[in-house]
């Protein structure tokens, strides 16, 4: 299940996603891992809502994009010196690659 995010306004939303954010990266890897384990066609990343809106917005990532997303996050983990997480991401990317 994807992470629930609540924002007061669109500017708050933009700030979270405009730079590399470790919490966002962790949530993406977690969602892809869960989707992979249950062989889903897409990974539910986030449910987003704004205080000024009555609707929720779902952000999903199709299976065809998991491999690239995990490799990009693996590289970010290395930059953040989170090497254990980078290894885990690398192993996940190998599993995804074999499953294709």
Determine if residue 81 is left, alpha or beta; phi over 0 gives left, psi from -120 to 50 gives alpha, anything else beta: left
Model pLDDT for residues 29-55, shown as the tens digit of each residue:
999 999 999 999 999 999 999 998 888
Average pLDDT of every residue of the chain: 92
Residue 1: the pLDDT is 63
Residue 19: the pLDDT is 67
Q: 3-class DSSP state for residue 43?
A: strand
Give the structural domain span for 27: 3-99
Total tally of structural domains belonging to the chain: 1
Only one residue has tokens 């949530």, namely 27
Closest CA to 78 of 14, 16, 20: 20
Check whether 17 has a pLDDT greater than 80: no
DSSP β-ladder status, 3-7 and 42-50? parallel
User: Average pLDDT, stretch 67-92?
Assistant: 97
Check whether 66 has a pLDDT greater than 80: yes
Residue 10: the pLDDT is 83
């Amino acid at each position: 299940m994807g992470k629930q995010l609540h924002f007061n306004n669109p500017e708050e939303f933009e700030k979270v996603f405009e730079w590399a954010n470790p919490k966002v990266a962790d949530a993406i890897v977690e969602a892809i891992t869960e989707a992979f384990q249950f062989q889903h066609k897409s990974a539910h990343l986030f449910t987003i809502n704004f205080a000024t809106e009555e609707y929720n917005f779902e952000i999903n990532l199709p299976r065809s994009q998991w491999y690239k997303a995990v490799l990009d996050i693996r590289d970010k983990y290395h930059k953040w010196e989170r090497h254990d997480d980078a290894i885990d991401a690398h192993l996940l990317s190998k599993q995804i690659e074999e499953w294709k």
